[in-house]
Amino acid sequence: MSALSNGGGAVAGDGYYNYGNNANLTATPNNGYYFTNWTDLDGNILSTSSTYVINNIQSDITIKVNFTRYNYYTVNVIAGEGGKVDGTGNYIQGSNVLLQATPDSNYRFDGWFAINGDRTSTLYEYSL
């Protein structure tokens, strides 16, 4: 019983099994990856759970475990004169981003603005 990985993680439980036994497989993604699915060699999805059981093995079997690399995005905010912004940086796809504006003394926060100049919010905290 062989489980091939696309390189984004590891498989536990593959190896030699006696005829009629069950194989309990577990896929563990590497940092920066997430588990996608198990497929046969033709690409047909067998399971979308990171654990997979092959019951009653009757012959040699080879399956694939697929991992997908997360996309990373940079959130860059330019604070105007008289304040600062917390929350900028690199984020994994799907992350919640909370930006927080803090005006300096003798300044007031005027709002969040898109590059085109449109005001998007007047709240100190802004979620993306």
Q: What is the pLDDT of residues 71-122, one digit of tens each?
A: 999 999 888 899 999 999 999 888 899 999 999 999 999 999 888 989 999 9
pLDDT of residue 83: 94
CA 122 to chain centre: 31
Q: List, for residues 36-80, the tens digit of each pLDDT value.
A: 999 999 999 999 999 999 999 999 999 999 999 999 999 998 888
Domain boundaries, the chain: 2-69, 72-127
Q: Tell me if residue 73 falls in helix, strand or coil.
A: strand
How many other C-beta atoms can be found within 10 angstroms of the C-beta atom of residue 58? 9
pTM, entire model: 0.66
CATH 1.10.10 fits 2-69, yes or no: no
pLDDT for 73: 92
Return the pLDDT at 78: 86
Are 23 and 82 in contact, with CB atoms under 8 Å apart?
no
Tell me which amino acid residue 69 is. R
